[in-house]
A and B are shown apart, each in its own frame.
Chain A
Amino acid sequence: MQALVSPRVRFLVTAVLGALAFAQPGYTHHNSQAEFGPFASPTIYVEGRIIDIHWGNPHISIDVEITGGALPAGEKWRLVSHPIRIMEEYGFQPTDFAVGDSLKLYTWTHVRKQPLMWPRAIQVNDGPMRSNLRFTDMIDIANGTFESLKIEAPLNLNGSPPQRAGPDTVAKLKEMGLIDANGLMIWPPPAQD
């Protein structure tokens, strides 16, 4: 077999396979847009109390009893979000959440009416309202609405590839000077002279 395949071909095959192995654009698990709607779709505002926390893979989840907002008080919903590693890249730690804490959420709900929420932004007790979806941040930044939402940008917004926010958003961000030479998001905006 080795005699049939030249070292050069073997090198090329190895290089291509190696590149494919490391070419994943990031950890992609479930397609949240299929279950919760597009990144740009409207969210609802919900308040709740943490009943239980599952800080695990393939994605974290938090059981929430609704206390106010757009869903009936007393209902039981499950907040689902990213895998642990991605949560940490956003700046969330398991110690940020505790049973009994109050939550304020801008969230999407499941398109099939199952009691699931995917939060666009999360506020724990009196802390800041923190982004949980950087691609929606990019869309809101491109539309000029991000600052009015008073949502704190995530740690991984700067340097993030923006393609999943959509081509129109990427084009607007480029016009705004928020995409660097490598095609990655710049945040916060560069200081103006």
Chain B
Amino acid sequence: MRQALIAAGIAAVVSLVVWQVFDRSTPAEGATGPRAFRVTDELIEDGWVDGSRTAGADHKPLEHSASSICFLTKIEIKGVQGPEDANSCTIGIDEFTGYWQVTATVAEGGRSEVRCNARCLVWE
């Protein structure tokens, strides 16, 4: 149920952004707007942390945030044994590179495994 709600929320946000972008793609005469859209493939390698080896956070850059928006496409968690297994998949902007990044995290003390991946809508 929770996953369905999260998926519905993501779909709503992406739809809103797409609608906003397309709405701006019919600009007034002389104005410029995005000319092409594409959706990227998933990353070659998942963001991945195996807590049975070591906990931590794995950050994977996606696309430059100036011309894209990204969304999670994969959340896979294995081996949860207790409340210490606090795993997450998040998307945020890396302030250093300016890129969206997907982050897989296994909190300190966790022994489970998390895999995350994402795709992006890019306008050019």
Listed in ascending order, the chain A residues whose CB lies under 8 Å from chain B are: 27, 29-31, 34-35, 51-52, 56-59, 61, 63, 76-78, 83-84, 111-112, 114-116
- CB distance B44 to A111 under 8 Å? yes
Number of B positions contacting A (CB below 8 A): 19
List residues of B (68-101) whose CB comes within 8 Å of A's CBs. Answer: 96-99
| Alpha-carbon gap, A115 to B65, bound state (A) | 13
Residues of A within 8 A of B50 (CB): 29, 58
B96 touches A63 (CB 8 A): yes
Complex Cα distance A111/B62, Å? Answer: 13
Chain A: CB-nearest residue to B53: A27
CB neighbours (8 Å) of B56 from chain A are 56-58
- The CA of A114 and the CA of B45, in the complex, are separated in Å by 13
**Is the pair A115, B97 in contact by a Cβ cutoff of 8 Å?**
yes
With a cutoff of 8 Å between Cβ atoms, the chain A residues found around residue B43 in the complex are 112
**Is the Cβ of B61 less than 8 Å from the Cβ of A114?**
yes
Interface centre among B43, B97, B99 (most CB of A within 10 A): B97
Partner of A115, one of B44, B48, B53, B61: B61
Decide yes or no whether B49 CB sits under 8 A from chain A. Answer: yes
Complex formed: what's the CA distance from A58 to B43 in Å? 17
B44 x A112 contact (CB < 8 A): yes
Is B116 part of the binding interface, using a Cβ–Cβ cutoff of 8 Å? no
A108 to chain B, nearest CB (A): 14
